Amino acid sequence: MKSRLSINNTFVIAIALLFLSCEDFVEVSSPNNKLIQQDVFSTDATARSAMNGIYNQLFKAAFSNGSRSSVTVLSGLSADNIRNINPSNYTRMEFEENELIPDNPNNLYLWSSAYNIIYMANSLLEGVYNSENLSEGVKLQLEGEARFIRAFSYFYLVNLYGEIPLLTTTEYNNNQLASRSLIEEVYDQIINDLEIAADVLGTDYLNGERTNVNKYAATALLSRVNLHLQNWEDAESLSSQVIAETGTYQLLDNLNDVFLVNSKEAIWQISPIGDGGFISNTNEASMFLIHPVFSFVASIQLRETFVEIFEEDDLRFNNWISYHNEEEAFFAYKYKVWNTSEFPIEEYSMVLRLAEQYLIRAEARARQGNISGAVEDLDIIRSRAGLSLIADTRPDISQEELLDVIIEERRKELFAEWGHRWLDLKRINKAGEVLGQSKPMWEETDVYYPIPAEERRKNPNLDQNDGY
């Protein structure tokens, strides 16, 4: 962990110039970065520092930091698991009511911060490709990590906005006026990046920290991508590869251990170490916990209609959900440690974990008609939650019924994590059917967020999504 803090002066200067962190991606000016790249990519150590800088930036970037403008919060509000405590916060209420306007600042932060991460990944890839000083092993490692980060960022952009600009270089003149690419083209790039990453990355975690991606992180994300693309056979095969690594990944019996630093269930986490701020634990905790003393700063609560779907003896309800009497509200309790300046850090932000891989394989098997295999995977998750097994209680379950149960288990297992519910409702084409019941202003065009107005003012080639 400490190595991430040891960034030398060369890197600090370079990162300030090369990885310009403005909120608006299209405003990134054309950099004269040849000299900078020569410095950063002159040694294996400084190049490694540049990659660590991108990981650190993921804790700062709006879309990935778990805070107010993150995928976790905003996409969570768009679905039916969480809602705002304070309805006067109109910028977040627009997400909750699915009544976004293109000028919504949170929407801009979501979009632009993801593109800034992509710009950083592109910059690093160009630096690696152009360097004659790096060892071959380091080159491959950095390429794999940067491609993973780029694919990860594009996965959320394409799912939130549909057709988007596909930028794979730092070429300013082209990027600033790029038009939107087809969804299929974006996914092709995502798959290509992840397949290369899975091929060149090793199976170990650098320094033992699960905050650096490895082969199985790429494989796990690729399994999710194939689930979204309805490539059931590939989704099953890829998730099976991760599940098979029992020496590295395990479902933890104690649910309160799942989100701890370097948890055995973690495939990839984001660390606040290296952020440079005063926060030493997760933003998710400060967003979702209703503090026993500072309850007045609480922002998010769980919907009662969501809480009600849990069976009485579900351990996820007992360990991952709590109730605040004063606010009369249920809240997510997956993360236990309020943001603090105290060390040691106890929790990292969870991005990819093993339970999702079991649920991916369960659904992929069910879609292919392998009912017994799907039930077996689903029951592993239900058993950990202390619930009765589907194999025992519903031995004659139909394919359609099983798929409904799997989607509901995903809702209960993955709530308050990276907008899974929002993305699930969209990919199975049930967003309107489900959300239309509780959100009176719902329209089918709400499945995509609007292209930020600020981006369209700067780039006339960006068409707006329907309904905005």
The per-residue pLDDT for range 192-204, each reduced to its tens digit, is: 999 999 999 999 9
Q: How far, in Å, CA of 337 to CA of 257, rounded?
A: 12
Mean predicted confidence (pLDDT) in 392-406: 98
pLDDT-based confidence at 343, cuts 50/70/90?
confident
Helix 215-228, helix 420-427: angle, nearest 10 = 40
Whole-number Å distance between alpha carbons of 375 and 395 = 9
- Does the residue 420 lie in any domain? yes
Does residue 300 form part of some domain? yes
Q: For residue 375, what is the domain's CATH number?
A: 1.25.40.390
Does any domain span residue 154?
Answer: no
Residue 53, token pair as written in the block: 């800088």
Q: What local confidence, expressed as pLDDT, does residue 27 receive?
A: 44
The predicted model gives 300-308 an average pLDDT of 97
For the whole model, what pTM was predicted?
0.92
Q: Which domain holds residue 304?
A: 213-428
* 56, 119, 153 from 47: Cα distances, Å: 14, 16, 21
pLDDT for residue 275: 59
Please state, in angstroms and rounded to a whole number, the distance separating the CA atoms of residues 373 and 362: 7
Beta bridge partners of 349: 270
- Does 71 fall in a domain? no
Rg of the chain over Cα atoms, rounded to whole angstroms, equals 22
pLDDT, averaged across the chain: 91
Residues 354-382 pLDDT 10s: 999 999 999 999 999 999 999 999 999 99
**Range with the lowest mean pLDDT among 98-107, 207-216, 284-293, 350-359?**
284-293
Instruction: Please report, for residues 52, 76, 301, the alpha-carbon distance to residue 419 in angstroms, rounded to integers and kept in the order given.
Output: 25, 5, 15
Is residue 81 domain-resident?
Answer: no
Q: Are 425 and 414 in contact (CB under 8 A)?
A: no
Pairwise CA distance, residues 247 & 408, whole Å: 29
- Domain for residue 414, yes or no? yes
- CB-neighbour burial class of residue 427 (10 A; exposed 0-12, middle 13-18, buried 19+): middle
In a domain, 404, yes or no: yes
The total domain count for the chain is 1
Q: What is the pLDDT of residues 2-47, one digit of tens each?
A: 232 233 333 333 444 344 443 344 444 444 444 466 678 999 999 9
Integer distance in angstroms from the first to the last C-alpha of the chain?
A: 45
Give the span between the Cα atoms of 66 and 331, in whole angstroms: 15
Q: What is the pLDDT of residue 341?
A: 65
The H or E element spanning position 331 is strand 329-332
Task: Read off the pLDDT of residues 122-163 as tens digits, 9 standing for 90 and up.
Answer: 999 999 999 999 999 999 999 999 999 999 999 999 999 999
Cα–Cα nearest to 349, from 398, 256, 283, 275 = 283
- pLDDT of 113 strictly over 70: yes
Q: Residue 70: pLDDT above 50?
A: yes
Distance, in Å, from the CA atom of 109 to the CA atom of 415, rounded to the nearest integer, reads 22
Q: Is residue 120 a part of any domain in this protein?
A: no
- C-alpha to C-alpha distance for 60 and 84, rounded to whole angstroms: 22
Please compute the mean of the pLDDT values over residues 91-120 and round it to a whole number.
Answer: 97
Across the range 237-261, mean pLDDT stands at 97
> Distances in Å between the alpha carbon of 38 and those of 11, 141, 146, 375?
11, 19, 18, 54
pLDDT in tens, 415-463: 999 999 999 999 999 999 999 999 999 999 999 999 999 999 999 999 9
Q: What is residue 202's predicted lDDT score, i.e. its pLDDT?
A: 97
Give the whole-angstrom CA distance, residue 303 versus residue 442: 18
Query: What integer pLDDT is reported at residue 272 of this predicted model?
Result: 87
Helix (H) or strand (E) holding 329, with range, is strand 329-332
Cα(338)–Cα(297) distance, integer angstroms = 12
Q: Could you tell me how far CA 179 lies from the centroid of its own chain?
A: 25
Nearest to 82 by CA among 295, 305, 311: 305
Q: Are strands 329-332 and 349-353 parallel, antiparallel or unpaired?
A: unpaired
Separation between Cα atoms, residue 392 and residue 432, nearest integer Å: 33
Distances in whole angstroms, Cα of residue 28 to Cα of each of 32, 168, 406 = 12, 15, 43
Q: What is the DSSP string of 409-453?
A: HHHHHSTTSTTHHHHHHHHTT-HHHHHTTT-TT--GGGGSPPPPH
List Cα–Cα distances, 371 to 116, 232, 310, 364, 379, in angstroms: 43, 14, 23, 10, 12
- pLDDT of 29 reads 43
Q: What is the pLDDT of residue 295?
A: 75
Backbone phi, psi, residue 415, to 5°: -60, 150
